A and B are shown apart, each in its own frame.
Chain A
Amino acid sequence: MATDMQAGSGIEVDGLVREFKNGPRAVDGIDLRVQAGEIYGFLGPNGAGKSTTVLMLTTLLPPTAGTARVAGYDIVAEGPLVRASIGAALQEAALDPLLTGREHMRLQTALHGLTKAERAERGQELLERVGLSLAADRRVGGYSGGMKRRLDLALALAHRPSILFLDEPTTGLDIQSRTALWDEVGRLAAEEGVTVFLTTQYLEEADALAGRVGIIDHGHIVAEGTPAELKAEIGRPTVEATPRDPAERERLAAVLARFGESAGGSPLGAAARLEGGESQLAEVVRALDAEGIAIERLQLHAPSLDDVFLAKTGRSLEGAEEEVEETADEEKEAAVGGA
């Protein structure tokens, strides 16, 4: 049974490529390593190759070139073993509106080979864990988007996988549902040691959840590291202040200059990049107070992952979403139709 396979719970990818007939390379030679128990965020705009990568790593799409090992098994040569070790909640919630939540669990656990007794127990446990025990006997067609996503997650965990793939799991969810999902994912990694490979186009999701982030654009990984490392790589936080008395502007600029190089700022104020990071803000305030400069407005601008994306690609991640390329499923459809 799947749960007996403990060959490892990391992901190793070397030169993975996916090319479509007469089409572009959706994934163009990516390398990455995900450690066991880690939450790895895979960030990029629509059409960057995130979902195609997930489909390959979950064995649903064969790669054109390159290798990958998931849970220690080769994704091409040992597909069934990979599938037994992973759970996946893909881009669509992929549920049958005519079945109830409990019937979904029964089907999923049965297909994974759990015994009858185990199915009922595991199903109930997971439905409770994701907060669907009361709605379990209602048809999924009547579930909200958040409920569907939670059921999707529960189904992905049915057979106790060591690695979980989540493909844009919170797209379209309200803030409450999103936070609840984040909490559960975080708990799975922290308490159960599940490795999580999470794709997202939301910066705050990658920031909040991921221990390490890989940023993909046009099929290439353009940056990789912890969110803090990536942001530090491209710059330090900037403090911007506007004096109440416009005549104090030059004095204000001189005070800020003690903490880092000038960063321009608005015509009425001044800005500086803080050498010592965000923690210097308190010192800045004390210094301004000591000089008797009354401040109208004070802002701290920390670099975001969008700034990282901008630095690496010359485009903003949030603006890059408007470049619509084929989604991975359309690419898969093209691959299937062309086969």
Chain B
Amino acid sequence: MSRSRLRTQVGQLARRSVLRTLRQPAQIVPALVFPLFLLAVNSGGLKDATSLPGFPTDSYLTFALAVPFMQGALFSVMNAGTDLARDIETGFLNRMALTPLRGTALLSGLLAGAVVLGLVQAVTYLTVGLIAGAELTTGIAGALTIIALAVSITVGFGSIGLFAALRTGSGEAVQSLFPVFFVFLFISAMALPLDLIQTNWFRAVATANPVTYLLEAFRSLLFEGWDLGALALGFGIAATVLALGMLGATSALKTRLVRT
């Protein structure tokens, strides 16, 4: 297949993905409102946590601002996954299977919607956080890096949603993943830094949880300053999630899009 044909396919599917995302307020609004609400509640309710010895910042809001980016990724799993599951359930995937569409074009195109959502989320969370008084030690460059990291994570998790949709073919099954990812988010350094978690087993699980290092990457940009190690780990994890998600999705697509 020619490069231009592949580009056209990816472009058209990306266009569709973006349009669908933007035309579903029910996907966008909760993804924006819910994390910001929790940010407000948690930063208000846990403000005094900053007085604990060893807490890395005076502003719990700044500390907690990392969390919405991860919650946004969770919505990306659901949105990307349920959109593709709907295509499978309605037979739209069959329609596309009858065209010369390449599988990689399909997956790449579908993630375009996740990119847009990730971008909108990241800009919103950061803007609201800064208006509310959060710190941003690394300035504009840091803000751009935060947005890039957030989009990478959203796309990575979106690919997991695609894998789930292709594997199960069911929107309900994709939705049932929500608690699984929710647990992943909670049993991390979400509410307190790793070294202030007192419960041993919880700290052990949080230490092993990649979400902790994603949070630390955001926090390094917000209040610690440039920490290339933390950033490398954060982007590396996002890239790994994307790679694994795409690997799974590509494999599942071969079975789902069974064509001779």
**Which of A79-87, A213-221, A295-303 contacts its partner?**
A79-87
> Which of B65-73, B85-93, B185-193, B231-239 is the contact stretch?
B85-93
8 Å CB contact of A95 from B9, B90, B169: B90
Q: How far is the CA of A96 from the CA of B95 in the complex (A)?
A: 11
- B41 located at the interface, meaning its Cβ lies under 8 Å from any Cβ of chain A in the complex: no
Q: Mark A309-338, 1 if CB is under 8 A from B, else 0.
A: 000000000000000000001000101110
Within 8 A of B (CB), among A80-106: 80, 82-84, 86-88, 90-96, 98-99, 103, 106
Binds B, one of A23-31, A58-66, A179-187: A58-66
A333 x B169 contact (CB < 8 A): yes
- Whether B3 sits at the interface, judged by CB under 8 Å, is no
Nearest residue (CB) in B for A1 is: B100
How many A residues touch the partner, as a band?
35 or more
Q: Is A108 an interface residue (CB 8 A)?
A: yes
Residues of chain B with a CB closer than 8 A to A93's CB: 90-91
Q: Are B255 and A112 in contact (CB under 8 A)?
A: no
B99 at the interface (CB under 8 A from A): yes
Question: Which residues of B are found within 8 Å of A75, using beta-carbon distances?
Answer: 260
Given A83-B100, A113-B5, is A99 in contact with B16 using a C-beta cutoff of 8 Å? yes
Instruction: Please state if A336 and B258 are interface contacts (CB–CB under 8 Å).
Output: yes
Q: Do the beta carbons of B258 and A107 come within 8 Å of each other? A: no
Interface: A339 (CB within 8 A): yes
B94 contacts A60, C-beta separation under 8 Å: yes
CA distance A87 to B91 in the complex (A): 15
The answer to whether A232 has its CB under 8 Å from any CB of chain B is no
A76 at the interface (CB under 8 A from B): yes
Q: Is A111 in the interface zone, CB < 8 Å from B?
A: yes
Residues of A within 8 A of B98 (CB): 58-60, 83, 86-88
Interchain CB contact under 8 A, B9 and A110: yes
Chain B's interface: helix, strand, loop or mixed, by majority?
helix
Best-buried of A62, A96, A103, A335 by chain B (most CB within 10 Å): A96
Per the bound structure, the CA–CA distance linking A107 and B95 in Å amounts to 11
Query: Cα distance A106–B15 when bound, in Å?
Result: 11
For B259, what are the chain A residues with a Cβ–Cβ distance below 8 Å? 59-60, 79, 83
B1-45 CB contacts (< 8 Å) to partner A: 5, 8-9, 12-13, 16, 19-20, 23-24
Contacts of B92 in A (CB 8 A): 94-96
Q: Is B243 in the interface zone, CB < 8 Å from A?
A: no
Q: Which residues of the other chain, B, contact A103 by a CB distance below 8 angstroms?
A: 16, 19
Whether A107 pairs with B16 at a CB distance below 8 angstroms is yes
| Chain A residues, CB < 8 A from B203 | none
Known: A83-B98, A96-B20, A111-B100. A336 touches B12 (CB 8 A): no
Q: Are A106 and B94 in contact (CB under 8 A)?
A: no
Bound complex: CA A80 to CA B99 (Å): 8
- Take A106-B12, A110-B12 as given contacts and tell me if A80 and B91 are in contact as well, using a CB distance cutoff of 8 Å: no
- Would you call A62 and B260 a contact (CB within 8 A)? yes
Bound-complex Cα distance A61 to B260 (A): 7
CB-CB under 8 A from B90, the residues of chain A are 92-96
Is A60 touching B169 in the complex (CB atoms < 8 A)? no
Asked if A155 CB lies within 8 Å of chain B CBs, one says yes
Rounded to whole Å, the gap between the CB of B111 and the closest CB of chain A is 17
Q: Which residue of B lies closest to A87 (CB)?
A: B98
Contact of A336 among B5, B8, B100, B256 (CB under 8 A): B256
Which residues of B have CB within 8 Å of A98?
19-20, 23-24
Q: Is B96 an interface residue (CB 8 A)?
A: yes
- Interface residue? B101 (CB, 8 A): yes
Contact A99 B100, beta carbon cutoff 8 Å: no
Q: Nearest Cβ distance between residue A96 and chain B, in whole angstroms?
A: 6
Report chain A residues within 8 Å CB of B101. 111
The interface residues of chain A lying within 8 Å CB-to-CB of B99 are 83, 108, 111-112
* Contact call B12/A60, Cβ cutoff below 8 A: no
Do the beta carbons of A339 and B255 come within 8 Å of each other? yes
> Is B119 on the interface with A (CB-CB < 8 A)?
no
Give Cα A83–Cα B100 distance, bound, in whole angstroms: 8
User: What are 5 A-B pairs with beta-carbon distances under 8 A?
Assistant: A60-B94, A90-B95, A96-B16, A107-B13, A110-B8
Please give me the 3 A-B residue pairs with the lowest Cβ-Cβ distance, nearest first: A94-B91, A79-B260, A111-B99
Chain A contact residues, CB within 8 Å of chain B: 58-62, 75-77, 79-80, 82-84, 86-88, 90-96, 98-99, 103, 106-108, 110-113, 139, 155, 329, 333, 335-337, 339
